[in-house]
Amino acid sequence: MLINRAVDNAADNLTSAILNQDDPETVRDGAPAYLLLMDSLVEGSPDNSDILQAAASLYAAYAAVFVIDEERAARLADRAFGYAERGLCAARKVGCGLAGLSFEEITGRLGDFGRSDVAPLYTFAVAWLVYIRTHAADWTAVADLPKVEAVLNRILVLDESFERGSAHAFLGVLQTLRPPALGGQPEAAKENFERAIAISNGRDLSVKVEYARSYARLLYERELHDRLLTEVIEADPREPGLTLMNTLAQRDAAELLASADDYF
């Protein structure tokens, strides 16, 4: 028990150290060693849901943020999703094989998950989204987006404030993937982005960047676009658990703002 707890703490501390880093280049250069460390922790505790979730989160974040090569990103996302599936299954047997079910089967099974299952469900949903993003040419993978949306909606029912309301932000992105004429839901997306900002007290700067990129650009709302991005650039990025992503968000905001004249 003590050994398992020590291993869990090591995984948690590693994740926290990375998320609180304000120099993305340090994380980018050092992350491969961290990934191998997480692999070794999984090898030592293959049925430990907490370690599997930590490994999935780290692999998914690295694949989504730092890897440019598409094939490599896809490989890393594969591993992230595999760890996330195993983590969910280890946490709750009802989660075993969830991704392979039909939409109807998934929605029927999601009712069996409770508030204590939010963490592995969230890790599973995020890793699944990264997997789909890195396999965008595979229409079978893309067709699973409604399933991920169903999982995110269940998370909101159980605990909308988990990870500072990030499930709202992910839903906002999904709802703006298509323009309104093709089934997009921009007004629902706006509500989700606004709710995510409210829950995080505006401290998760990546939400404002996605709000500007996904919603404001889709509807050509230049004033909203520039206001959100200016707020991000002027904010203090240091925030426990968010410093790394906030620093990256400020870089993205500067790039989006610089290209605004050409876009609008």
Q: Which pLDDT value is given to residue 9?
A: 54
- Which CATH number is 160-264 given? 1.25.40.920
Share of the chain above pLDDT 90, in %: 88
- Total-model pTM: 0.93
> Which residues of the chain form CATH 1.25.40.920?
1-137, 160-264
Q: Which pLDDT value is given to residue 3?
A: 44
- Looking at CATH, the fold of the domain delimited by 1-137 is given as 1.25.40
Q: What is the 3-state secondary structure (H, E, C) of the chain?
A: CHHHHHHHHHHHHHHHHHHCCCCHHHHHHHHHHHHHHHHHHHHHCCCCHHHHHHHHHHHHHHHHHCCCCHHHHHHHHHHHHHHHHHHHHHHCHHHCCHHHCCHHHHHHHHCCCCHHHHHHHHHHHHHHHHHHHHCCCCHHHHCCHHHHHHHHHHHHHHHCCHHHHHHHHHHHHHHCCCCHHHCCCHHHHHHHHHHHHHHCCCCCHHHHHHHHHHHHCCCCCHHHHHHHHHHHHHCCCCCCCCHHHHHHHHHHHHHHHHCHHHHC
Q: Which pLDDT value is given to residue 201?
A: 97
Q: Which pLDDT value is given to residue 183?
A: 82
Low-confidence ranges of the chain (pLDDT < 50): 1-4, 6-8
Question: pLDDT tens digits, residue range 199-229?
Answer: 999 999 999 999 999 999 999 999 999 999 9
Q: Which pLDDT value is given to residue 13?
A: 67
